[in-house]
């Protein structure tokens, strides 16, 4: 079984400041890792994913994340946020073998202030 | 390339009624999965279909069911609706299983 912990339920930040959204996971098997973004009244949009290879992955909208196997973390970062980045962000893991059933974190609400 | 399409987007039902939600996956995707999103429970996996067969199932009562057609389109049904079934129901599709793409969701309100 897998579990995902998003350490902050809410992250307020000023526009143009850097931001980090934290995600830790636990799993008895190898997993793939994902970040999704959900804007109000919309579905989830894939931001980026880690399947294998380089531990630093770049996604859309200037976001990037680093996979740290020893710390079982997959933190999301952006060097300079915009008002339009205000949304809910979800970290997710999927087992690399067997059933592709995802486990999601509870989400982090990123609030960007002008 | 069109994304995952869900209909209807919004609906209101009365307790005890049933509801059917529809999902058209991304062209070429044969895996379709469904999720329930609520403020209290977050995102929870309902079930997954592949080539018209239910491949995985989450921990939901039998009132929640689904099916997939030969063109990969999928429907989910909830019978005997309860107030607690009010939620955003998300459909997702996948080509390879390791990456899932979501639709906009169907907002269900049970009154």
Contact call for A51 and B94, based on CB within 8 A: no
Q: Per-residue pLDDT tens for A19-59?
A: 999 999 999 999 999 999 999 989 999 999 999 889 999 99
Cross-chain Cβ contact B48/A43 below 8 Å: no
pLDDT tens, residue by residue, A55-113: 999 999 999 999 999 999 999 999 999 999 999 999 999 998 877 789 999 999 999 99
Record: contact B48-A90, CB cut-off 8 A: no
Chain B: residue whose CA lies nearest to A43: B104
Can you spell out the DSSP letters for B2-49?
Answer: ---EEE-SEEEE-TT--EEEEEEPPTT--EEEEEEEETTTEEEEEEEE
Whether A51 has its CB under 8 Å from any CB of chain B: the answer is yes
User: Is B81 a residue whose pLDDT tops 70?
Assistant: yes
Token digits for B27? 């062209």
- B2 pLDDT exceeds 90? no
| Terminal alpha carbon distance of chain A | 41
**Residue B1 pLDDT more than 70?**
no
Coil/strand/helix, residue A34: strand
Contacts of B56 in chain A (CB under 8 A): 99-101
Q: Which residue has the tokens 């995952």?
A: B4
Q: Which residue of A has its CA nearest to B90?
A: A43
Q: What confidence tens digit (pLDDT) does each residue in B18-66 have?
A: 999 999 999 999 999 999 999 989 999 999 999 999 999 999 999 999 9
């Amino acid at each position: 079984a897998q579990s995902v912990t998003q350490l902050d339920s809410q992250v307020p930040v000023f526009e143009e400041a850097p931001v980090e959204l934290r995600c830790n996971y636990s799993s008895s098997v190898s997993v793939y890792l994902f970040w999704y973004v959900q804007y109000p009244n919309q579905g989830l949009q894939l931001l980026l994913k880690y399947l294998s290879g380089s531990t630093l992955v770049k996604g859309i909208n200037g976001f990037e994340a680093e996979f740290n196997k020893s710390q079982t973390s997959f933190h999301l970062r952006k060097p300079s946020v915009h008002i339009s980045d205000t949304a809910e962000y979800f970290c997710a893991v999927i087992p690399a073998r067997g059933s592709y059933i995802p486990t999601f974190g509870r989400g982090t609400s990123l609030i960007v202030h002008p | 390339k069109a994304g995952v399409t869900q209909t209807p987007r919004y609906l209101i039902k009365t307790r005890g009624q049933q509801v059917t939600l529809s999902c058209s996956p991304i062209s070429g995707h044969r895996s379709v999965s469904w999720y329930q999103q609520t403020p209290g429970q977050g995102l929870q996996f309902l079930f997954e279909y592949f080539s018209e067969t239910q491949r995985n199932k989450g921990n939901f009562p039998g009132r929640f069911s689904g099916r997939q057609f030969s063109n990969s389109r999928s429907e989910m049904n909830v019978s005997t609706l309860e107030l607690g079934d009010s939620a955003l129901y998300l459909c997702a599709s996948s080509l390879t299983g390791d990456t899932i793409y979501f639709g906009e969701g169907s907002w269900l309100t049970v009154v």
